[in-house]
Amino acid sequence: MTNDRFLRACRREPVDRTPVWFMRQAGRYMAEYQRVRAKHSILDVCKIPDLAAEVTLQPIERFDLDAAIIFADILLPLESMGLQLAFKEEQGPVIFNPVRREDDVTRLRHVEPDAFRFSFDAISMTKKALDGRVPLIGFAGAPFTLASYAIEGGSSRNYLNTKQMMFGRTDQWHALLRKLSDVVVTYLDNQVRAGVDVVQLFDSWVGCLSPADYGEYVLPHVKSVIDRLKPQGIPIIYFGTGTSTLLPLMRSAGSDVLGFDWHVELDEAWARVGFDVAVQGNLDPVVLFAPLPEIERRVKDVLDRAGNRAGHVFNLGHGILPKTPVEHVESAIEFVHRYGTR
Amino acid sequence: MTNDRFLRACRREPVDRTPVWFMRQAGRYMAEYQRVRAKHSILDVCKIPDLAAEVTLQPIERFDLDAAIIFADILLPLESMGLQLAFKEEQGPVIFNPVRREDDVTRLRHVEPDAFRFSFDAISMTKKALDGRVPLIGFAGAPFTLASYAIEGGSSRNYLNTKQMMFGRTDQWHALLRKLSDVVVTYLDNQVRAGVDVVQLFDSWVGCLSPADYGEYVLPHVKSVIDRLKPQGIPIIYFGTGTSTLLPLMRSAGSDVLGFDWHVELDEAWARVGFDVAVQGNLDPVVLFAPLPEIERRVKDVLDRAGNRAGHVFNLGHGILPKTPVEHVESAIEFVHRYGTR
């Protein structure tokens, strides 16, 4: 690997410069991506390995980033289990046959690795094209976040159906999460075999839960996924938003890296989870819309809070927003280089 | 006041039983409310004092609650300032002429108390009908939450326009928040004159901010509102959601009571802000959809965490959801009485 500072930071080894990548770095804010998407749906780009590899590489060709992340969607495992998934322009993901009753859970298919052949092919092609320049990240939705989409049938404000199953039909909930966990493990295990160097579990919406509910209904499943991935020997990142009060529990799930959003101060949150875990974050994605001096000040602040400790990966606190000015992304990366060099 | 335990708890005085009320206790989950709303829009119910008083009293007639809250909407101050406000069935509040540019801020009208005559009349009528049975709560949106609606034109996922003004046109932001703060003070001051016994500031969406941004762009304005209301001598409640990392700063705004949502454990959060402030909360509103034994267990847990300390008001962590089973609301109140009696 020509540039291994991202891998080193994940393992809390010293680096010459804080590594940086951005969630959704391959996305709508880039004209190159828009050109591909003008002709292909999101699901097509995920499933046609040439296209997935192409958009994965776009930000790597354009910016001085320290990691690539394979283009895919956190919900792909749901489709393979028999849920009908589509992406609507404004609304985001929609599932036409959501999981509500017990037989909806029973009906979910166990998935053989072949169901994700397209992902693994995209990974192999991307690895070849990267030629060791930077590591490649694979990912999947974490069990709770997959379950919430599967149950609500899309994004949600209150997670009413999800929590109703959790609180009222607890056996059904755990059966669903076990099934989802198994598929996530199969999917990620085979991403590693196909060549990814790191995996990230996206538990994007887990912040809707109280700590007690997270501990009871979610943590055992995340822990089981991470335990089963560990033998692969690659770093595992676990990320969610709105997780301030969940972080100590999330820490106990056993990932190598914890992702923070901007609701926490990086130094305070890192101290709270312990410096024996690497951390990733945590610039508010909206900051990239601010004037450059303000972006600079805030990038520097995140780096100052990380200090000279080993084990910080610079990132946003959530994905890049669609209308982010591309030159601001470029500048933010430069600021990370400027202030994050030892 | 026949039942003053809510007022006593706000002042951290001993009570015989933990007082309980629910945000949005007058709302769609009640058939009585639906009957009124079948014939009148939300804005009509807010503005026709007879109707506002009627729906305010509905939960008081039906349940054994310790406080009434005047029926109104947190966004009413915006309408009086010249913004065109409507409520759409699924979408919630919409503002047709949002505040984006500097002259949008300049154009916002200063408001004389007479603009809210309907609110004050509704308060007087309600107080008369309550006849001292329980205290009456008045309220308004807090400056940030009003600003976010005014700028976004409705609810928002990322608060992109709001934060762009905040980060990029800071003078304009502060000018807007000063104007909003002045109107909030006028509105609440006159609610007190009309008879409310307590006021609550709803900063519902302030949890989208980092602690540093809250401290710089919001706190001074909330503090100014609270400082100006203090001479009225009535308890002031300050509430937001997703505020776990903001609570110590919110505490410094100086309210008598802090509202917690369910993302924090009540005991831990109370210790963090200090036991010299009263607290309100914090059952997840979705818990009211759970089976009764589960509701009972969780009500008891909140009360156990509050312990025998003076200064806890039982509430949800956000408003009652529209489809909440009304008999579950009734049972939850009974559980508070059962486990919250000294």
Tens of pLDDT, residues A263-275? 999 999 999 999 9
**Full DSSP string of B192-213:** HHHT-SEEEEEETTGGGS-HHH
Which chain B residues have any C-beta within 8 angstroms of a chain A C-beta?
A: 158-160, 163-164, 167-168, 207, 209-213, 242, 244-245, 262-265, 268, 284-287, 289-291, 294, 301, 321, 323
Residue A89 confidence class, pLDDT cut points 50, 70, 90: confident
Q: Is 80 exceeded by the pLDDT of residue A47?
A: yes
* CA distance to partner chain A, nearest, from residue B193 (Å): 36
Q: Is 80 exceeded by the pLDDT of residue B15?
A: yes
Residue A260 confidence class, pLDDT cut points 50, 70, 90: very high
Residue A259 confidence class, pLDDT cut points 50, 70, 90: very high
Identify how many contiguous H helices and E strands chain A contains and give both numbers.
16, 9
Residue B242 has φ and ψ, to the nearest 5°, of 65, 30
Given this model, what pLDDT does residue B202 score? 98
**Chain A to chain B, count of Cβ pairs less than 8 Å apart?**
92
**CA A233 to chain centroid:** 19
From the candidates A11, A17, A37, A117, give the one annotated as an active-site residue.
A37
The verdict on a CB contact (< 8 Å) between B158 and A264 is no
The percent of residues above 90 in pLDDT, for chain B, comes to 97
Q: Residue B143: helix, strand or coil by DSSP?
A: helix
From the candidates A4, A66, A73, A203, give the one annotated as an active-site residue.
A73
Average pLDDT for A112-131: 96
Which chain A residues have any C-beta within 8 angstroms of a chain B C-beta?
A: 158-160, 163-164, 167-168, 207, 209-213, 242, 244-245, 262-265, 268, 284-287, 289-291, 294, 301, 321, 323
DSSP state of B164: H
Question: Chain A residues with CB inside 8 Å of B286's CB?
Answer: 158-160, 163-164, 167
Residue B1 confidence class, pLDDT cut points 50, 70, 90: confident
The ipTM value here is 0.95
- Check if the beta carbon of residue A31 is closer than 8 Å to that of residue A99: no
From the candidates B5, B8, B12, B149, give the one annotated as an active-site residue.
B149
- What rounded mean pLDDT belongs to chain B? 97
Average pLDDT for B41-48: 96
Taking the C-alpha atoms of residue A232 and residue A229, their distance in angstroms, rounded to an integer, is: 6
Which tens digit of pLDDT belongs to each residue from B170-205?
A: 999 999 999 999 999 999 999 999 999 999 999 999
Buried b or exposed e, range B315-333, using 16+ CB within 10 angstroms: bbbbbbbeebebebbebbb
Q: Is 80 exceeded by the pLDDT of residue A63?
A: yes
* CA distance to partner chain A, nearest, from residue B292 (Å): 10
The percent of residues above 70 in pLDDT, for chain A, comes to 100
Phi-psi group of A331: left, alpha or beta (phi > 0 → left; psi -120 to 50 → alpha; rest → beta): alpha
Which tens digit of pLDDT belongs to each residue from B221-236?
A: 999 999 999 999 999 9
Let me know if A28 is a catalytic residue.
yes
- Out of A158, A160, A286, closest to residue B163 by CB: A286
Q: Residue A97: helix, strand or coil by DSSP?
A: coil
Let me know if A217 is a catalytic residue.
no
Given this model, what pLDDT does residue A90 score? 77
Which tens digit of pLDDT belongs to each residue from A236-247?
A: 999 999 999 999
Q: Give alpha helix (H) positions in A63-111.
A: 76-80, 102-107
Q: Is 80 exceeded by the pLDDT of residue A340?
A: yes
Q: What is the pTM of this model?
A: 0.96
* CA distance to partner chain B, nearest, from residue A287 (Å): 7
Question: Chain B residues with CB inside 8 Å of A164's CB?
Answer: 286, 289-290
The kind and range of the H/E element at B285 are none
The verdict on a CB contact (< 8 Å) between A263 and B244 is yes
First to last CA, chain A: 20
Taking the C-alpha atoms of residue A321 and residue B34, their distance in angstroms, rounded to an integer, is: 39
Q: Is 80 exceeded by the pLDDT of residue B117?
A: yes
Q: Is 90 exceeded by the pLDDT of residue B90?
A: no
- What rounded mean pLDDT belongs to chain A? 97
Question: Chain A residues with CB inside 8 Å of B284's CB?
Answer: 163, 210, 213
Question: Chain B residues with CB inside 8 Å of A167's CB?
Answer: 286-287, 289-291, 294
* Closest-CA residue to A44 (of A17, A73, A11): A73
The verdict on a CB contact (< 8 Å) between B321 and A294 is no
Q: Determine how many CB atoms are found less than 10 A away from the CB of residue A80.
A: 20
Given this model, what pLDDT does residue B89 score? 79
Q: Is 90 exceeded by the pLDDT of residue B91?
A: no
Q: Residue B341: helix, strand or coil by DSSP?
A: strand
